[in-house]
Amino acid sequence: MPVWRDYNPTNDLVFKFVFGRPERKNVTLAFINDVLGREGDAAFVDLEYRNVEFAPLRESEKLGRLDVFGILNDGTRVDIEMQVVNHLNMEKR
C-alpha cells in the first residue's frame, strides 16, 4: 500500500512530474484549457515540451524556465509558465 504524503502541487519538481511529461500530455492539455477557460477553436490542441532556461541579466533578477509551449488550432505557439507568487516578476520576463 502506498504511503501518501502532503506534496505542494506548485513545487516545480512535483508540477513537472505530474504535468511535464509527454506521456501525460492529455492531462496537461485538459488542465491548461480548463484553467484558462479555453474551448472550441480557442483551445490549445497540442503541447511541446522543452527545457529552456533564461539566465537573469542582473543578480537581483529571477532565473526563468520555460517548459511548455501551447499550440493553438492555427499553429500559433504560446509560451506557458506557472507563476506561484510575486506576479511582478512576469513583467521582467
Domain ranges in the chain? 12-92
- pLDDT at position 53: 66
| pLDDT recorded at residue 90 | 55
Which of the four pLDDT bands, split at 50, 70 and 90, describes residue 72? very high
Alpha carbon separation from 83 to 11, 51, 64, 69 (Å, rounded): 11, 16, 10, 15
Cβ-based neighbour number of residue 76 at 10 Å: 9
Confidence at 3, pLDDT banded by 50, 70, 90: low
Give Cβ neighbours of residue 53 (< 8 Å, ≥ 6 apart): 63, 64, 65, 66
**Distance (Å, whole) CA 22 – CA 19:** 8
Query: Residue holding cell 537581483?
Result: 60
The amino acid that residue 35 corresponds to is V
At residue 91, the pLDDT reads: 57
The string of pLDDT tens digits covering residues 18-65 is: 887 888 899 999 999 999 999 999 999 999 887 666 666 777 766 666
CA distance 7 to 91: 29
Quick one: pLDDT band at residue 87, thresholds 50, 70, 90? Answer: low
User: Quick check: pTM over 0.85?
Assistant: no
Collapsing DSSP states into helix, strand and coil, what is residue 25? helix
